[in-house]
Each structure stands twice: as structure tokens, then as C-alpha cells.
Amino acid sequence: MSKRLRFQGVCAIVLLAACGDAPTRMREARDAGSTASDAHVPIGTDAASPRIEVGPLPPDPMLEATDRTRGASCPSSSRWVVAVRGRVVDEDGAPIEGALVQPCLLLGGTDRRVCLRPSASDAEGVLTAILPEESRCVDEVALRMLVPESARATGYCAVPEAGEDGVLVPDRALVLVGTSAPRARPPVGDEGAMREVSFEGVTLTTSPRVVGTDRYDTMGARVLSGALATATCLGDGTPMDLLVAFTPEVAVEDRAGLPASIEARGFSPGERVELFVLGGLATMLASGELVPEAEWHRFATATVSPDGTITTSSGEGVPHLGWLGIRRAP
């Protein structure tokens, strides 16, 4: 696996499921608007979602005028991608205007990964990202998407292999989910002191220094139905039974990850479950392996306890605050 970057941070977490180079990549993340404001989106009902289709996309004049001729030096085993298109929606399927979508690429025939300058969605949620010619020969394509200065969790979508005339279009809409502000959040005080921040369904033990003092007052979280992982283009299409979203997105410095205790709604005592993390910017596992953007990676297994909780074992903590997925073990 190729080298990736790390975002510094560490915290401890309790989940209740009752309801290029490092400086460059981190600057790109901040420039793309990876913060959240206090305008948090209320939590609604999280019933199983039907598949949210992209639907017909209108012609794009700039794309129509773009030369799509394949570069002569691009290996035959790689894809020639001129543009990526899609539709950005919220969890109810409504279009989101002004979302920034950033193509993250594994360049063809190399181990070099780059995230390009983001493009914005229009009033109908339609996104067209035209790739620079030097970045069109690729082996992998993922999309990082967010709404600047909002409480919507940063999303990641793995774009499928299929494409027509150099244009890739995910077969499902790109989803950006709103999170909720905490029910209880201690004042900043000692920036390094660990404390509990309680959300509806999720309690984090963390500190302002971990998430960034300037972003401590904007923290959000939300627990959702796992159906969202297959109804929309969130991750790589791996089915989940339960999802947890966090804002802001924070990678974890401690290789052991974050201890987690999860109330196992929908699961029975004694059931074996798998815990996954969605690859984001600088998502690193205990082994030192870096998880590619938009890939669901299993980081732990657990057994639902008699009192209906899921607890991660030592050394198998949560490695990244972004998206977590939980599903029954096969």
C-alpha cells in the first residue's frame, strides 16, 4: 500500500447505539472546509433508506468542450478519466448546493496518491469535476465530499470501474449526513484535560486539544441505519447494520485506537459483530497500515454482552473519527 498522511489527534470514545505529504494534505483538508458550525441538523427518523439514484445529469458545456483523447503514456491496465460527475444529496435525498467534492486518485502505474482541488455542486446537487490532464491516468478513484462550515459529516465514495467516454458517474447519489450538537459539552477549560461530551446516542471522552481547540465547540455526532451505506454512495458499498457519523473528521495518533462501548440496538446477546472504519484522510490502523479513502476496513470483532453492549478489546480501538460501521459477523 502506498504512503499516506496522518492527522495528529487522540481521544477515547464511548458509543451508544440506542438511537502527497502530510502538511500539504492537511492544508488541503482545511482549505476544503473541514469544520462544522453550530447550525446542527436535527436528528430525524432513520428508517431503512431506498436506493437513491443519481438520475439523468444535464450536459456540462465545459466537459463537452474537453478533449477526451487517451494519453499515449497511460498503461493499458489503467483508466483514462477525464471527469467525474454525480449528484450530492442529504440523507432524505434532497439536493445539496455548494458541497465541495474532491477527487482522490491513485495515479496509473505508480504508488502516488493525490487529492485534487475540490469542485462545488450546483443548485440541483450536480457535481462535475474535470481532471487536469496530468492526473487523468488512474488506477483508483474516490471522492471526498463536504459542506464548508456545516455540521454535515465528511463523506467518501469509491467510484466504480465503469465509465463512458472518459467520464465516471457513481450509480448512487453522494450523501452528506447532518450531525447533532452535544446534549452536554463541558467548557474548554484545560485544553489537554479529557472529558465526556455527550450526544444523542454517542458519548465521546476527548479534549479540546485532540479535536482542535477552535473546533471543540462545533463537535457533532449521529447514529443512523446501516441501510444508508448501500442506498447511497457512502464508502465502497459494503453492507452495514449500523452507522455512526462524527464531525469534525479527526485521525487518531494512538496506534491502539480508541476504546469503544456500543449499545447493541438490533443485536442479540452472544452475537458476534464486526466493527469497520471508513477510510478518510490519514486513517491509520494499529498495524501502521493506511486505509484508502472510501474503503470500509474491519478493525475489530466483538461479542454482544449479556447486557446488550459491544466493547472493543485492548489494541483494537476505533482508529478514526469520521464514519464507523457495525454489522453481524458471517
pLDDT one-digit tens code per residue, 83-101: 999 999 988 889 999 999 9
On whether both 16 and 89 belong to a single domain, the answer is: no
On whether both 245 and 189 belong to a single domain, the answer is: yes
- Does the residue 62 lie in any domain? no
- Does the residue 129 lie in any domain? yes
On whether both 158 and 31 belong to a single domain, the answer is: no
On whether both 233 and 247 belong to a single domain, the answer is: yes
Which of 113, 148, 175 terminates a domain? The answer is 175
What pLDDT is recorded for position 162?
58
- Structural domain count, the chain: 2
For residues 117 and 47, the model is more confident at 117
CB 262, CB 318: distance < 8 Å = no
- Could you give the angle at the alpha carbon of 184 between the alpha carbons of 182 and 190, nearest 5°? 105
CA 159 to chain centre: 14
Question: Is 50 exceeded by the pLDDT of residue 2?
Answer: no
On whether both 208 and 270 belong to a single domain, the answer is: yes
C-alpha cell read off for 76: 493499458
On whether both 157 and 222 belong to a single domain, the answer is: no
On whether both 212 and 164 belong to a single domain, the answer is: no
Confidence of residue 13 (pLDDT cuts 50, 70, 90): very low
Per DSSP, the three-state class of 62 is: helix
What pLDDT is recorded for position 87?
93
- Does the residue 67 lie in any domain? no
CB 156, CB 72: distance < 8 Å = no
What pLDDT is recorded for position 81?
95
Question: Is 60 exceeded by the pLDDT of residue 14?
Answer: no
Q: Counting Cβ atoms within 10 Å, is residue 270 exposed (0-12), middle (13-18) or buried (19+)?
A: exposed
On whether both 244 and 170 belong to a single domain, the answer is: no
Tens-digit pLDDT profile for residues 49-67: 567 777 889 999 999 999 9
- Does the residue 182 lie in any domain? yes
Residues forming beta bridges with residue 223, ordered by sequence position: 244
**Whole-number mean pLDDT of the chain?**
81
**Torsion of the alpha carbons at 153, 263, 233 and 316, rounded to the nearest 10:** 90
Cα–Cα distance measured from residue 247 to residue 176, given in angstroms and rounded to the nearest whole number = 12
- Does the residue 66 lie in any domain? no
What pLDDT is recorded for position 50?
64
- Does the residue 7 lie in any domain? no
For residues 37 and 307, the model is more confident at 307
Tens-digit pLDDT profile for residues 193-214: 878 888 877 777 778 887 788 8
On whether both 311 and 164 belong to a single domain, the answer is: no
What pLDDT is recorded for position 110?
93
Residues spanned by the domain of 163 = 78-175
Which of 132, 155, 175 terminates a domain? The answer is 175
Which CATH number goes with the domain that contains 111? 2.60.40.1120
- Does the residue 69 lie in any domain? no
Question: Is 50 exceeded by the pLDDT of residue 173?
Answer: yes
On whether both 236 and 247 belong to a single domain, the answer is: yes
Confidence of residue 325 (pLDDT cuts 50, 70, 90): very high
What pLDDT is recorded for position 32?
42
Question: Is 90 exceeded by the pLDDT of residue 44?
Answer: no
On whether both 102 and 219 belong to a single domain, the answer is: no
- Does the residue 212 lie in any domain? yes
On whether both 38 and 154 belong to a single domain, the answer is: no
Cα–Cα distance measured from residue 145 to residue 89, given in angstroms and rounded to the nearest whole number = 11
> 222-260: buried (b, 16+ CB within 10 Å) or exposed (e) per residue?
bbbbbbbbbbbbbbbbbebbbbbbbbbbbbbeeeebbbb
Cα–Cα distance measured from residue 13 to residue 219, given in angstroms and rounded to the nearest whole number = 13
What pLDDT is recorded for position 308?
82
Which of 147, 175, 203 terminates a domain? The answer is 175
What pLDDT is recorded for position 28?
38
